[in-house]
């Protein structure tokens, strides 16, 4: 079947996602993140692409980009080819590093832009790693250490620089970002919970003590469940889950 044509944004804004094949790790050490960012800077300048925000996670990357669709496509293709060649040579691998072609979702209004912006930069918190401002591999790092990649003028049209961290700290409605869930609905979440519990020889979360329960919550976050999903499928309050993943 022919590929479905990529949808063009009239505003020029896109939320872009690339993932490692089969959730494969695409960044194994600090130098890998640095190599990817070096290429991001090089090709965004050459291909006339504006990076509004980005976040590099171990097995996927988020970009919020402003560009013509043709420029975006060229930028992502050159990035993928260059970084894949670097990775495969370094780790003596072969084959595809990234899963299929990159995903892009058009953003046509201010609300969607702000939701996507916050969503991207809260990924480390969602994964139970750290607060957004403590993460080295996102555009927030450039508030203090300029890498020459992020153009903050786009977010500053809506949020003052001094209010940016407060804005990022507010919780998003993850349901707005359904296109990034890969059909990760509550039925999927229940299956993940069942798998995690079965691996431990139990079938109910209430069979575990507090420490084990918290470890399971952390596992669910790493599997991609949102705080809201974990609360719904486990009947644990959101406040307890938030405290757990911040520890």
Interatomic CA distance for residues 111 and 158, integer angstroms: 10
Kindly list the domain boundaries of the chain, sorted by start residue: 13-176, 181-246
Residue with more model confidence, 160 or 39: 39
Interatomic CA distance for residues 82 and 170, integer angstroms: 36
- Quick: pLDDT tens for 170-180: 877 654 555 55
CATH topology for 13-176 is: Alpha-Beta Plaits (3.30.70)
Quick one: pLDDT band at residue 1, thresholds 50, 70, 90? very low
Q: Is the pTM of this model over 0.85?
A: no
């Amino acid at each position: 079947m022919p590929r479905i044509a990529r949808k063009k944004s009239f505003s020029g804004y896109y939320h872009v996602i690339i993932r490692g094949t089969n959730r494969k790790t695409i960044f194994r050490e600090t130098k890998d993140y640095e190599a990817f960012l070096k290429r991001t800077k090089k090709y965004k300048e050459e291909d006339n692409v504006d990076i509004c925000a980005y976040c590099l996670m171990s097995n996927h990357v988020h970009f919020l980009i402003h560009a013509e669709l043709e420029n975006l496509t060229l930028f992502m293709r050159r990035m993928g080819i260059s970084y894949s060649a670097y990775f495969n040579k370094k780790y003596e691998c072969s084959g595809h590093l990234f899963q299929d072609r990159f995903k892009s979702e058009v953003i046509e209004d201010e609300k969607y832009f702000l939701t996507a912006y916050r969503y991207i930069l809260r990924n480390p918190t969602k994964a139970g790693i750290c607060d957004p401002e403590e993460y080295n591999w996102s555009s927030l790092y450039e508030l203090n250490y300029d890498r020459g990649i992020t153009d903050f003028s786009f977010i500053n049209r809506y949020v003052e620089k001094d209010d940016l961290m407060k804005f990022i700290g507010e919780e998003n409605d993850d349901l707005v970002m359904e296109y990034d869930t890969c059909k990760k609905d509550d039925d999927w979440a229940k299956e993940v919970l069942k798998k995690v519990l079965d691996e431990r020889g139990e079938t109910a979360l209430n069979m575990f003590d507090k420490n084990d329960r918290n470890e399971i919550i952390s596992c669910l976050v790493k599997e991609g469940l949102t705080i809201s999903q974990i609360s719904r499928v486990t009947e644990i309050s959101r406040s307890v889950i938030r405290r757990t993943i911040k520890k």
